[in-house]
Amino acid sequence: MSRVVTFGEIMLRLVPNGYERFFQSSQMSATFGGAEANVAVSLANFGVDVSFVTKVPDNPIGRGAIQNLRGFGVDTKEIVFGGDRLGIYFLEKGISQRASVCIYDRNHSAIQQSSPRDFDWDRIFDGAEWFHFTGITPALGDNLIQICREACHQAKKKGLTISCDLNYRRKLWDTKKAGQVMSDLCRDVDVCIVNEEDAKDVFGIKIKHSDIRGAKIDKEEYKEIARQLGERFDFDKVAVTLRTSYSASINHWAGILYDKEQFYTSRDYELRVIDRVGGGDSFGAGLIYSILNGKDGQDAIEFATAASALKHTIEGDFNRVSVQEVEKLADGNQSGRVER
């Protein structure tokens, strides 16, 4: 079985219950998540042999994160202990016209304090086929940029496929620095995952007429993003996710895959959103799974899009679905009927 390595931050995620505002009651849901950890869990749920690499503090919070990942079958042996704290993010879930609120308390985290010496990529990549990271990791600091560079360099050297989700986060860095760093890192990347905002913010690729806040999506414009990115970085594959947010509760969702020869467009989903955090990550995991398992372009984009459609119905960062469930939806069964 092929082995995938993902690298990034895992955070404690604190969320008020239901649709409460922060501190409306004193109960919070305390789980774990983070872009690359989310991809790892998705892949483990698909039966893929996957390692998640990070650094966590050697205290009950760091160990809690590991126990959580390990339960899903993610290999946590390459996780390094050390540093002062696990990053935290507070999430208040929006609904209808009320937007979700995200507060980062992730500075000074163990991973942010890590150094290149913490990770022996040569050993970590032994026996691996695929390396995945996102634009969040280099955004954590210059040391992380260097670590990502070394990881990509070593991965390339050992013949791994490298995928990267741009994942631009305005609260972590500015578009200028993001553009420079990601342009550099993308030279080693084979599969690039992106949405319309990332393409604009990180690489300045703008499309016409697109209104992510409600107007109908013009898929032709999105293909243009994929084409331009493919050209600029010579990616093997570019995948673009298309989200239209009618409200915090109702989103439209679709995906496009471009393999330098052809465009493959998924079916559209009208989603009732239970939790949209991790939606993009589950798309990335679906894509990696599809490519690793030799699905053709159309099947791959349908699988990735269906996987992430299901993610929006699940509480927490992690996409708790099986290959079988994704394929049932990818095949067009959206009825949600119970079997008995």
Select the span of 2-10, 145-153, 258-266, 327-335 touching a copy of itself (CB under 8 A): 327-335
Q: Between 105 and 184, whose beta carbon lies closer to a copy of itself?
A: 105
Taking the CA of residue 61 as centre, how many other CA atoms within 13 Å lie in the half-sphere pointing to its CB? Answer: 20
Q: What residues have CB less than 8 Å from 121, skipping those under 6 apart?
A: 150, 151, 154, 155
How far is the CA of 227 from the CAs of 193, 198, 222, 236, 260, in angstroms?
13, 15, 9, 11, 7
* Interface with a copy of itself, residue 81, by CB under 8 A: no
What is the Rg, in whole angstroms, of the alpha carbon atoms belonging to the chain? 19
Write each residue from 55 to 74 as x if it is in contact with a copy of itself (CB under 8 A), else as -, in one continuous string. Answer: ----xxx--x--xx-xxxx-
281 catalytic? Reply is: yes
Q: What b/e sequence results for 190-221 when a residue is b if at least 16 CB atoms lie within 10 Å of its CB, and e otherwise?
A: bbbbbbbebbbbbbebebeebeeeeeebeeee
Catalytic-labelled residue, pool 75, 118, 259, 281: 281
* Interface with a copy of itself, residue 19, by CB under 8 A: yes
Candidates 36, 92, 196, 317: give the one binding a copy of itself (CB under 8 A): 92
Shortest reach from residue 230's CB to a copy of itself, in Å: 27
Rounded distance between C-alpha atoms, residue 261 and residue 279, angstroms: 27
Shortest reach from residue 139's CB to a copy of itself, in Å: 11
* Interface with a copy of itself, residue 298, by CB under 8 A: no
Shortest reach from residue 206's CB to a copy of itself, in Å: 18
Site for a copy of itself in 207-266 (CB under 8 A): 212-214, 245-249
Site for a copy of itself in 128-157 (CB under 8 A): none
C-beta pairs of 320-328 under 8 Å, 24+ apart in sequence: 320/45, 321/45, 322/45, 322/46, 323/46, 323/47, 323/289, 326/46, 326/286, 327/303
* Interface with a copy of itself, residue 22, by CB under 8 A: yes
* Interface with a copy of itself, residue 175, by CB under 8 A: no
Shortest reach from residue 135's CB to a copy of itself, in Å: 12
Name which of 184, 229, 173 is nearest 204 in CA terms.
229
Shortest reach from residue 35's CB to a copy of itself, in Å: 11
* Interface with a copy of itself, residue 274, by CB under 8 A: yes
* Interface with a copy of itself, residue 103, by CB under 8 A: yes
Q: Specify the pairing of strand 101-105 against strand 88-92.
A: antiparallel
Q: Between 131 and 318, whose beta carbon lies closer to a copy of itself?
A: 318
Catalytic residue positions?
A: 281
